[in-house]
Amino acid sequence: MLDMPAIRQDLNALYDLAPNPELAASMGAEYARMSRVVSPVDWAIHAPYVAAINTLKKQRNATILAHNYMTPEIFHGIADVVGDSLQLAIEATRTKADVIVQCGVHFMAETSKILNPAKMVLMPDMGAGCSLADSITAEGVAQMRARYPGAPVVTYVNTTAEVKAASDICCTSSNAVQIIRALDADTIIMTPDKYLAQNVAAQVPEKRIVWWDGSCIVHEQYTARDIREFRDWNPGTRIIAHPECPPDVVAEADFSGSTSGILEYVSRERPERAMLVTECSMASNISDAHPEVEFIGPCNMCPYMKMITLEKVLWSLHTMTTAVEVDPAVADKARLAVQRMIDLSAKKA
Ligand code: 13P
Ligand code: SF4
């Protein structure tokens, strides 16, 4: 575990990190992308970290890949690439940088390392896990294969490298339906997210989909009743749910899609009011680009995603820790499953 008081002391001795309204005012371009959701007082606190990270990033020839669930100061202040799980994996194959700093959770950093074995991939906090990745091991995949002989295994990217290595192909929430449709099999095993599997099964009724009993602690909290009550309380609000939500929640929504799918839907439809049934930072990060949309309603915080902070990113780049390592034999097998997914998604496009 990171010793934050000691890290804070060291960072303050090395960098000028005191709140700085003048510096903040000089960084207006960055602030303009988050001014609806980050107050000027908070920006004065973040700006010295953002400036230090952006300078260090150039010195280290590092690129920062940030998931859509990062906080606005990370998403708009320091990221070179932002996106959903699929977009980040694809960008990881394209980067020319020597170092990748993954602002997201551990499985995302592992995916970047699997795709870039020669590059250094840094995780600002190795404790940033995922309930889905924790729910299954390679042994679980073997059990499913034994129960459904001959059925291919489609594994969500929210898994460890070992689980990917034991699978036939990966998927994300933005390409799961296409991947299931493309497979030449009547019965398909999906791991580890039962809700994603059930939501996909509803769209591909011609195939029999069997699933592992995993779920996301953020999305499983929503209920269909919550959504109905919210609609009654605020009629006319467009309700947009991530496919990690239970199927009855997705059925109550106006649209369901991955985090990039949610952004595309909002950009295309420009609803007057929207409720994003997903992690809290999603609405914050797209709010300034869509001032015409009022984002309302409850959201749930992912405790793992929120472990990544500006302070930890600065420490990570300063010390070049902690590098993510994947056993080369495991990485070789996992790469096949991830690359098959990327190739199939590109064909679809
Ligand atoms: P996407 O960004 O691929 O939709 O995934 C959401 C998620 O929960 C990542 O952990
Ligand atoms: Fe995992 Fe859910 Fe957090 Fe995504 S939001 S990292 S799926 S726990």
**Structure confidence by residue, pLDDT tens digits, 240-269:** 999 999 999 999 999 999 999 999 999 999
CA distance 10 to 273: 45
Say if residues 295 and 274 touch (Cβ distance below 8 Å).
yes
pLDDT of residue 256: 98
Co-location of 122 and 63 in the same domain: yes
Pocket probe mutation, ligand 1, options 82, 132, 134, 172, max atoms within 8 Å of Cβ: 172
Token duo for residue 329: 């034999």
Does a structural domain hold residue 64? yes
Kindly state whether residues 123 and 183 are assigned to the same domain. Answer: no
> Are 9 and 122 contained in the same domain?
yes
| The predicted structure's pLDDT at residue 148 | 98
Q: Exposure of 339 by Cβ count < 10 A (0-12 exposed, 13-18 middle, 19+ buried)?
A: middle
Q: Considering the domain boundaries, does residue 343 fall inside one?
A: no
> Are 194 and 103 contained in the same domain?
no
pLDDT at 198: 98
- Residue 332 pLDDT greater than 80, yes or no: yes
Residue 104 neighbours by CB under 8 Å, 6+ apart = 65, 66, 67, 69, 70, 88, 128, 305, 308
Beta bridge partners of 277: 241
pLDDT at 305: 98
146 and 183 together in one domain: yes
**Residue at 328 is within a domain:** no
In a domain, 331, yes or no: no
234 and 207 inside one domain: no
In a domain, residue 324? The reply is: no
The pLDDT of residue 297 = 87
Phi and psi torsions of 40, nearest 5°: -55, -35
**Residue 255's domain is classified under what CATH number?**
3.40.50.10800
Domain boundary, last residue among 147, 182, 216:
216
Element (H, E) at 123: none
DSSP string, 164-184: HHTSSEEE-TTTHHHHHHHSS
To the nearest 10 degrees (0 to 180), the angle between helices 328-348 and 106-115 is 90
> For residue 280, is it within any domain?
yes
CA distance 109 to 92: 10
Q: Which ligand is nearest to the Cα of residue 83, counting in written order?
A: 1
Mean pLDDT estimate for the chain: 97
Strand, coil or helix: 148: coil
Range of the structural domain that residue 44 is part of? 4-129+305-319
175/277 same-domain check: no
Q: Are both 85 and 28 inside the same structural domain?
A: yes
Residues 143 and 203 in one domain: yes
Question: How would you classify the pairing of strands 294-295 and 273-277?
Answer: parallel
Domain end among 216, 239, 274: 216
Q: Examine the domain organization and report whether 190 and 265 are in the same domain.
A: no
Say whether pLDDT at 83 is over 60.
Answer: yes
**Percentage of the residues of the chain whose pLDDT score is greater than 90:** 98
Residue 275 resides in a domain: yes
Q: What is the pLDDT of residues 197-238, one digit of tens each?
A: 999 999 999 999 999 999 999 999 999 999 999 999 999 999
Over its C-alpha atoms, the chain yields an Rg (Å, rounded) of 20
The amino acid at residue 307 is M
Question: Is the CB of 281 within 6 Å of ligand 1?
Answer: no
Mean pLDDT, residues 134-144 taken together: 98
- Distances in Å between the Cα of 85 and the Cα atoms of 67, 92, 106, 180 are 7, 11, 12, 18
How is residue 106 written in tokens?
Answer: 């551990």
The confidence band for 349, taking pLDDT boundaries of 50, 70 and 90, is low
Q: How confident is residue 16, by pLDDT bands cut at 50, 70 and 90?
A: very high
- Is the CB–ligand 1 distance for residue 172 below 6 Å? yes
What is the mean pLDDT of the segment spanning 173-188?
A: 97
Among the candidates 159, 181, 216, a domain finishes at 216
Instruction: Tell me, yes or no, whether 143 and 248 share the same domain.
Output: no
Instruction: Name the closest ligand to CA 172.
Output: 1
Mean pLDDT, to the nearest integer, of 154-166?
98
Domain count, the chain: 3
At 35, is the secondary structure helix, strand, or coil? coil
Same domain (yes/no): 15, 107? yes
> pLDDT, tens digit, for every residue of 117-127?
999 999 999 99
Q: Which atom of ligand 1 sits closest to the CA of residue 259? A: 4
Q: What is the pLDDT of residue 348?
A: 54
Q: Which helix (H) or strand (E) holds 299?
A: none
Residue 79 domain-assigned (yes or no): yes
Q: Report d(CA 110, CA 170) in Å as an integer.
A: 14
